[in-house]
Structure 1
Amino acid sequence: MGAETGGHTGRAPFPPIGDLVTRSWTPGTTDAALSAIAATPRLVVALDFDGTASPFVLDPMAARAIPEVAAQMERLSAMPDTVVAYVSGRSMHDLREITEHTDESPFALAGSHGAQYWYPGSGESDVESAAAEEDGTKEELWEAARPIIDRFDGAELEPKTFGMGVHTRAATPEVERELFAEIDALVAERFPHWRRRKGHHVLEFSSRLEGKDAAMTALRERYDATGILFAGDDVTDEDAMRVLVDGDLGVRVGEGETAAGLRVRNPQEIAQLLEALADERAARRE
């Protein structure tokens, strides 16, 4: 996927994860890659939500961006030739709720891992794509999964537009392992072609095959971006990191193997990085 994207844009994709050196970014310091993305003519700033803009909370629908991130995203959205977006595995309905997104918002949204979009000025836009519903419908998956999930303390089913998520934020590691094994067995037997994703205390299945790499392509083409800054904290965000190209910047939040160029520790440091980006972008345009 990275090679195809690089060929389309004429710019080289980032090297494979094992070949990339990820630098830890220290708030208050300068970084050449951050300076370069601040200077790009047409910038898209795209953030994952859970664990990146927001800390993890036990109730997934209670998640909100920390005020410092929200303030810097608003600030960036007001700058010329700068687009801000949230890119999430959440369904569009839920993503709009947790981002407190209104019809007048200047923020773009990519939900369901790049299968749903909302653009300022035009509203919601679904993407036509192949699905794997020959195995069954999402309602059939929910019906089969719910009795399994209900047996496990601290587990929760999240119905999604194209599938489901199984959350274990309030469960013990032992419960998570046993539950995920049973759900995996169910899906392997009855929904074998659905896409599986495992993140921080969540197991997801979707009849749609898009990943966050698709969202990077859509945002780049929609806004003719000369640079994308994408930040995320989880395995699913690496789909997006791997298709970033020369002139882009990936930022990993927290630990884990990554194709990102920079690493920060938490949402608070994402806010500080966005502030540094906004300061430098504003100074270059004075």
Structure 2
Amino acid sequence: MTVSTDDDLRAAVARVAASDRLLVALDFDGTLSPLEDEPMDARMLPAARAAVDALVAAPETVVAFVSGRSLVDLRVIAEHDDDSRVLLAGSHGAEHWSPGEGLTSHGEDAGDVALRDALRAHAEQATAHLEGVWIEPKTFGFGVHTRRASPEAAAEANRLVDDIVEAEAPQWRRRTGYNIVEFAFRHEGKDSAVAELRERVGATAVLFAGDDVTDEDALASLGDSDVGVRVGEGETAATVRVADIAALADLLDRLAAERTRRVG
């Protein structure tokens, strides 16, 4: 893995630091928090939390977490309460939370919910014999977690659930990530989440950072005045790449300091 040079990182920070109103949109798992075998154990690393706090305090700067997690779970792992100034986009942008407004959702109907519950039950039954496989409930679908499973069990779980969804809900959206396959009856992606956040806060530039395949939708959607940051390995449309969460935290700290110097 080749990470960006310090000159490249400095140029990326300078590009967005001078914008009139900046949106810093960040994936959570693998970007601010290490990936965990038990997903609800995820928490921001102290350096990442400090960098987020510094950006929240910077002038004309809005921070948002953009995650595939259901909003209720994202609030738990982000230790996010009603006094927070951090915006949230959960379920790949189908659910939003903002200060003073609270929760907004793009909605669901009784038929979608009934099918979601039936498919999740079918997936749980089909994979119950596979050690290390966990079916995660999500607001608009479910995820098949295989982080603790053997490669053979993971492949079998994904095959079984793929067959179930293909037979019963072929119109659902399928997404892959690190040791997870997600299925949803909503089709929002992190690209639409970032676009909605950009419009909502009136941002003139965006920095988006992520580490997974599902983050590439957002990274590929950014414009010339924006900056995309890939955390870790993998093919990417990002402007720059950093090695890990600690390196991203350092980049965000630099951005907060430069933002305060230029705009404050």
TM-score, normalised with respect to structure 1: 0.87
Which position in structure 2 is the counterpart of 1:191?
169
Specify the code of the residue in structure 2 equivalent to 1:274. L
Q: Mind listing any 5+ residue stretches in structure 2 that lack a counterpart? A: none
Deviates more, 1:184-193 or 1:31-40: 31-40
Q: 2:88 matched to 1:109?
A: yes
Which among 242, 266, 284 is matched to residue 244 of structure 2? 266
In the alignment, what sits opposite 2:221? 243
TM-score, normalization by structure 2: 0.95
Task: For 2:216 and 2:114, locate their aligned partners in 1 and report how far apart those are by CA, in whole Å.
Answer: 28
Q: Give 2:99's match in structure 1, choosing from 108, 111, 120.
A: 120
Q: Following the alignment from structure 1 to structure 2, what is the Cα–Cα distance between the partners of residues 26 and 150? A: 47
Task: Please state how far the C-alpha of 1:230 moved relative to its aligned partner.
Answer: 0.3
Matched, 1:152 2:133: no
Cα distance in structure 2, aligned partners of 1:279 and 1:46: 17
Residue 79 of structure 2 aligns with which residue? 100
Structure 1 SS opposite 2:68: coil
Range 107-116 or range 173-182, more displaced: 173-182
Question: SS of 1:189's equivalent?
Answer: helix
Two-structure CA RMSD over aligned residues (Å)? 2.0
Distance 1:32 1:150, change over 3 A: same
User: How far 1:171 moved relative to its partner?
Assistant: 1.1
| Residues in 2 aligned to 1:30 and 1:134: alpha-carbon distance in whole angstroms | 44
Q: Are the structure 2 counterparts of residues 168 and 80 from structure 1 closer, same or farther at C-alpha, using a change threshold of 3 Å?
A: same
Of Structure 1 and Structure 2, the greater helix share is in 2
Residue 149 of structure 1: CA displacement? 2.3
Aligned residues: 264
Provide the rounded CA distance (Å) in 2 between the counterparts of 1:29 and 1:134.
46
2:193 aligns with one of 215, 226, 234: 215
Secondary structure of the corresponding residue to residue 214 of structure 2: helix
Q: Within the alignment, does 1:90 sit opposite 2:42 as a pair?
A: no
Once the 2 structures are TM-superposed, how far is the Cα of residue 30 of structure 1 from its aligned partner?
A: 5.0
Determine the C-alpha separation between the residues in 1 that align with 2:23 and 2:133.
36
Residue 202 of structure 1: which of 172, 177, 180 is its match? Answer: 180
Structure 2 counterpart of 1:59, from 20, 29, 38: 38
Identity of aligned pairs, percent?
Answer: 49
What is the alpha-carbon distance in structure 2 between the residues aligned to residue 225 and residue 233 of structure 1?
23
Where structure 1 has 5 or more consecutive residues not aligned to the other structure, the ranges are 1-21
Give the drift of 1:165.
0.6
Aligned partners of 2:263, 2:94: CA distance in 1, in Å?
A: 35
